Amino acid sequence: MNRCAPLPTALPALLLAGLIAWPLPVLADRAHQHGAARLDIAQDGRQLTIELEAPLDDLLGFERAPRTDVERRSVDKMLAVLRAGAGLFRIDAAARCTLAGAELASAALKLGPPATQAADAHADLNASWRFDCTGGAPAHVDVGLFEAFQRMGRIEVQVATPKSQRKATLVRPATRVLLPR
């Protein structure tokens, strides 16, 4: 199992000095671990937001900018799968959710805002999807990440709804996350 701490040593001092606004609780339990991804699912009213943080290795098999045409094609294919969203998350049909937007960020791939994490041998990708649900609160979401990305084996899931918050772990080949409502 490959681990690394993505924080540069100077960052805590900057945080203490108030120079960088950063969601500390997220940072505190953040660990880059190959094979394991994090997924935050939040539902409130008609909005369903899903955020993914995954090692690039899980999605691509490498953690740097592509160097060959084959690698560039792998990156393009991965980004297309993530942007489409629909195949990755099969949401309770009764809730009639439609994808309203998707954003991707990965410093190694020069996607999204400039990097704030240390330059080391590892790299992550962050993705977020917004769904608009006109049929009410969904009872469950089936996560298709294991089907799409063979290297991913475990997903630590956090769910937040107006009713409650809970944590769950999806281990391949499980897909279903229940949303309390």
Q: Which stretch binds Zn ion (CB under 5 A): 50-58, 75-83, 97-105, 139-147?
A: 50-58
Minimum separation from the CB atom of position 70 to Zn ion (A): 20
Minimum separation from the CB atom of position 33 to Zn ion (A): 8
Minimum separation from the CB atom of position 155 to Zn ion (A): 16
The 51-90 contact track toward Zn ion, x by CB under 5 A, reads: ----x-x-----x---------------------------
Minimum separation from the CB atom of position 119 to Zn ion (A): 13
Instruction: Give the nearer residue to Zn ion in terms of CB position, either 38 or 122.
Output: 122
Residue 122 found at the interface with Zn ion (CB under 5 A): yes
Q: Residue count at the site for Zn ion (CB under 5 A)?
A: 4
Q: Measured at CB, which residue is nearest to Zn ion?
A: 122
Instruction: Give the nearer residue to Zn ion in terms of CB position, either 58 or 92.
Output: 58
Q: What contacts 24+ positions apart, CB below 8 Å, involve 10-17?
A: 11/118
Residues that bind Zn ion (CB under 5 A): 55, 57, 63, 122
